[in-house]
Amino acid sequence: MQACELPVISGTFFRIVYAEHATDSLQGARSPEGRFHHDGEPALYMSSRPDWALKAVEAYLRPGDPPRVTVPLALGPARIVDLRDAALCDRLGIDAAHAAIPWQPQRARGEAPHTWRPADASRRAGADGMIYTARSAPDRWHLVLFRWNCAGGPAVAVSGPSRPLVV
């Protein structure tokens, strides 16, 4: 499939970061690997709604953590693979069910997590990012960008003030 055949998305998205990192919230994931990135690949995880962003990070919140903020982001047109689109996934040879398998237990066993498969296939298809659903609530969806603010990638900018995270 050619990159030009991929669906395009744009709009306002939300990312939760430590307050001390709010000014560099476009940096992307700080860890060299995560649910949909590995080997130091760039990844910018965001959610389509602020409450969904909170749900995405709830498992990582710990008492005594530094304060976090919700940062609104304006995303310019981005070519994406939407894992909710069964026909698109079929054309790309993606098993969207792989995105729902918890990645950390597989990684702890030294395995390459299944979640990397749809992300790798999306990258090979020329996608700027990928829409995936929450494991616990398939109606909630999130976006991970593989490239942004670079030649050929979509533009992403902070689009308003950060707001303190209220849990």
- Average per-residue pLDDT for the chain: 94
Residue 99: its pLDDT value, please?
Answer: 96
Here the contacts of 17-21 (C-beta below 8 Å, separation 24 or greater) are 17/68, 17/69, 17/71, 18/65, 18/66, 18/67, 18/68, 18/69, 19/66, 19/67, 19/68, 19/69, 19/162, 19/164, 20/66
Check residue 7 and give its pLDDT: 96
Q: Which of 122, 67, 74 is nearest to 96 (CA)?
A: 122
pTM of the model as a whole? 0.93
Average pLDDT of the segment spanning 22-29: 94
Rg (CA), the chain: 15
Extract the runs of DSSP E, i.e. beta strands, from the chain.
Answer: 8-18, 44-47, 68-82, 129-133, 141-145, 156-158, 163-164
The ranges assigned to domains in the chain are 3-162
| CA–CA separation, 9 and 154 (whole Å) | 10
Give 59 or 126, the one with higher predicted confidence: 126
Please state the rounded mean pLDDT for residues 52-71.
92
Band of pLDDT at residue 136, cut at 50, 70 and 90: confident
**Position 66, amino acid:** P
Residue closest to 6 by CA, chosen among 87, 101, 125: 125
pLDDT at site 32 = 96
Question: For 97-112, what is each residue's pLDDT tens digit?
Answer: 999 999 999 999 999 9
Closest CA to 73 of 149, 20, 152, 150: 149
Cα separations in angstroms, 112 against 41, 107, 117: 14, 6, 9
**Using the 8-state DSSP alphabet, how is residue 96 labeled?**
G
